Structure 1
Amino acid sequence: MTDRTLDLDDFSDLIERPHGGLRRDAEERRARTGLPPEALGRLDELGEWLTAAQGRLPVQPVRQPRLVVFAGDHGVASLDVSSHRAGSAHTLVREALEGTTPAAILASRLEVPVRVVDMALDCDPEEFPAEVTRHRVRRSSGRLDIEDTLTAQEAEAAFRAGMAVADEEADAGTDLVVLGDLSVGGTTAAGTLIAALCGTDASVVTGRGGGEIDDLAWMRKCAAIRDGLRRARPVLGDQLELLAAVAGADLTAMTGFLLQSAVRRTPVVLDGVVSAACALVAQRVAFRAPDWWVAGHAGSEPAQAKALDRMALDPLLEQRVEVGGGTGALLALPLVQAAAELAAGLPVRDDGDEKDGDTGGDGDDGGGSDSPALDAT
């Protein structure tokens, strides 16, 4: 066993809130457009959030969004808790890469590049391109109801992989990430994390996953989450141990990705219950981190609603989308883009008093930040 070298407490110091002063300036700028205060609904709020995240007034249009999807299989799926066969997440990934999934089709229509990151698919890594598999930690994750899903070393490696992906996106100029997942058994892991962090029983958070499972499968899933909770609760004080116990490699990487994206000042649109669970763990690590995220949509998973409520994140859409892969978050992307266009493009009165442009100093010009960051390597 090697010593643990990753100190999650550092994130609390590295993650700052988005530029609060610029958010107030954006509110004042919006008030001078002449439109009634509530005329644009939540688009005003989104525009102000982006202004603060970018550190620019007026806000810049979202020009380089990317869909980042973390993928993996979960050992708990062998209990028949999913509508998909255990170990079959690689088929979902293949369909996404071929452009035939709902998320891939939407991404193509919206001209959003798609990046899939294999963390623990149950297949030969040679089945996919090296850029998909190069961060893989293991083949499938352990069964969360009876064993740790990852060793301590694997958990740290997965977390650092997520951080590395966040750094790569920031360095590439990605100005907004749409975060998705492709897994079999992932919603069971997500439900376990959320139940543990919210202090609720398994039955309260158990939904029917990305497909319609029957009542017997729901009861098996509920029992698996109950057993996972017994293993999760003793390690609630250490988030990396918690992730190793019940999360699996893909959810652990997503948590690292969310935290490092906040460090790099890259805003993120969350998708369904899996990304919500990872965000909830990340909030435990750094309480300011949720200021860098918006919830794209509300699905029917009860665990997602509990997690978003705990983080005070109000979903932009309620379309009850459950197919995963970032589909629901992609549906919300045009709203975010529209908010930026309106915030930047609406003419304001007293233009002579307006000091538009990059503020320098406190803000940053998008994903490629020079802000201090934890080393993912």
Structure 2
Amino acid sequence: MTILPTESTLETAIRRRIDNKTKPLGALGRLEELALQIALIQQTETPVLTNPHLLVFAGDHGLAAEGVSAYPAEITYGMVKNFIAGGAAINVFCKQNGLSLLVCDVGVNGLFAENTTEFVKFKIRPGTRNMRHEPAMTADECAAALDAGKTLVNGVRYRDCNVVGFGEMGIGNTSSAALLMHRFTNLPLAQCVGKGTGLDDAGLAHKLAVLEAVAAQYSHLNTPEDILAAMGGLEIAAVAGGMMQAAENGMVILVDGFIATAALLVANAIEPAVLQNCIFCHQSDEAGHKLMLELLGVKPLLDMQLRLGEGTGCALAYPLVQAAVNMLNDMATMDVL
């Protein structure tokens, strides 16, 4: 995989263009930074956002059998049906803000109807194994999940899409994300684990105990792929693969909350250049996400105490991304005064 570095000589010209707009220097704050980043990703002074897509990957987690979530595993299947029917928050926000939504089953424990324009199946297996007792995925299954994400990103690219966001659905996946955060940041596991779908204090303590046992079991693993296979999720691997492919394609990447950022940690460990294409849409209310963002040295666009997942933060932040590009292209310069 080859991700091209952004051209530094172009940066001076873009900054000059932004500074010459009809405003005081820096008066549009973060929008100016955002416009510069998008222009550098696209390697042009006049960036364009075309056919934005939100990709939601879904998969079940065998670890849910250990009682690490406030909801039963069956909710994953029910929520995917809700996505397909158009009734979830991400359906509403994508429709409102003009993003095409594509849902992908990479590992849900349940059967769905045939593929449609808004739902596709790359089912690798009906959920991961219980990582408390054995690795969540084999190396081949993990590679297949990474490839599923890459394939879907290439598919929307052929629809003339150059900006893509990633969402996920999978009961138990905050546990997987916390374990990945712990391994890729070296932070104590207690700082990475949160209440997920709404555990009480006792449930949180149980979740932490289970995850501590899992972390110890796989502490000998070193490569990003091995760590992901042992403690990741099919949907998390697909997001990581999709992010890497989007970066290689020169696409703008919209990063959602805690779980999507955990997937980015994996992608970044495999291919660090992916980070330059990423716009961090919001800071999740899930414990640990703020620390993730700080360690990556990035600033989110929104902080609305969201912890839903699904890519909802991406869809909500997208109008700001549009505003940054429109400012760069359509706002008059001081030459008119």
TM range (shorter): over 0.9
User: Who is 2:206 aligned against?
Assistant: 220
> Aligned pair count?
334
Shift of 1:78: 1.4
Assess if the C-alpha contact under 8 Å between 2:167 and 2:309 holds in 1.
yes
| Counterpart check, 1:36 vs 2:21 | no
Distance 1:45 1:274 in 2: 25
Post-superposition Cα deviations, 1:25-83, rounded to whole Å, max 9, x if no partner, equal 111101111411221110001111111111221222x2311111111110111122212
User: Who is 1:312 aligned against?
Assistant: 297
User: Who is 2:311 aligned against?
Assistant: 326
Shift of 1:133: 4.5
Assess if the C-alpha contact under 8 Å between 2:280 and 2:299 holds in 1.
yes
SS in 2 for 1:88: helix
Distance 2:315 2:37 in 1: 18
SS in 2 for 1:331: helix
| Counterpart check, 1:337 vs 2:322 | yes
- 5 Å-filtered alignment, 1:80-119, equals 80-119=67-106
TM-score (norm. length: structure 2): 0.95
SS in 2 for 1:116: strand
| Counterpart check, 1:15 vs 2:16 | no
Assess if the C-alpha contact under 8 Å between 2:51 and 2:159 holds in 1.
no
User: Who is 1:372 aligned against?
Assistant: none
- Aligned match of 2:288 in 303, 314, 317? 303
Shift of 1:277: 0.4
Assess if the C-alpha contact under 8 Å between 1:193 and 1:232 holds in 2.
no
Distance 1:49 1:321 in 2: 25
| Counterpart check, 1:260 vs 2:245 | yes
Shift of 1:321: 0.6
Identity of counterpart residues, as a percentage?
Answer: 25
Assess if the C-alpha contact under 8 Å between 1:17 and 1:289 holds in 2.
no
- Aligned match of 2:216 in 214, 230, 245? 230
| Counterpart check, 1:179 vs 2:156 | no
Distance 1:187 1:276 in 2: 11
Distance 1:128 1:188 in 2: 29
- 5 Å-filtered alignment, 1:1-377, equals 11=1, 14-60=2-48, 62-124=49-111, 127-131=112-116, 132-209=119-196, 211-236=197-222, 238-350=223-335
Distance 2:253 2:214 in 1: 28
Post-superposition Cα deviations, 1:79-132, rounded to whole Å, max 9, x if no partner, equal 2221221232011111112121111111111121110111110112xx233253
Distance 2:258 2:220 in 1: 23
Amino acid at match of 1:320: Q
Shift of 1:350: 4.9
User: Who is 1:7 aligned against?
Assistant: none
Shift of 1:279: 0.5
Assess if the C-alpha contact under 8 Å between 2:22 and 2:331 holds in 1.
no
TM-score (norm. length: structure 1): 0.85
5+ long unaligned stretches in structure 2: none
Distance 2:291 2:130 in 1: 24
Amino acid at match of 1:344: N
Amino acid at match of 1:297: H
Amino acid at match of 1:111: G
Amino acid at match of 2:206: R
Shift of 1:140: 0.7
Amino acid at match of 2:43: G
Distance 1:269 1:128 in 2: 29
Amino acid at match of 2:248: V
Amino acid at match of 2:115: A
User: Who is 1:366 aligned against?
Assistant: none
Assess if the C-alpha contact under 8 Å between 2:239 and 2:263 holds in 1.
yes
Assess if the C-alpha contact under 8 Å between 2:135 and 2:229 holds in 1.
yes
Amino acid at match of 1:23: E
Assess if the C-alpha contact under 8 Å between 1:162 and 1:254 holds in 2.
yes
Assess if the C-alpha contact under 8 Å between 1:205 and 1:301 holds in 2.
no
RMSD over equivalenced CA pairs, Å: 1.6
Post-superposition Cα deviations, 1:306-347, rounded to whole Å, max 9, x if no partner, equal 222222121110001111111112111110011111111112
Post-superposition Cα deviations, 1:230-283, rounded to whole Å, max 9, x if no partner, equal 2343213x1111111010211111111111111111111111111100101111
User: Who is 1:6 aligned against?
Assistant: none
Distance 1:64 1:145 in 2: 41
Assess if the C-alpha contact under 8 Å between 2:108 and 2:127 holds in 1.
yes
Distance 1:219 1:146 in 2: 20
Q: Which moved more, 1:14-23 or 1:257-266?
A: 14-23
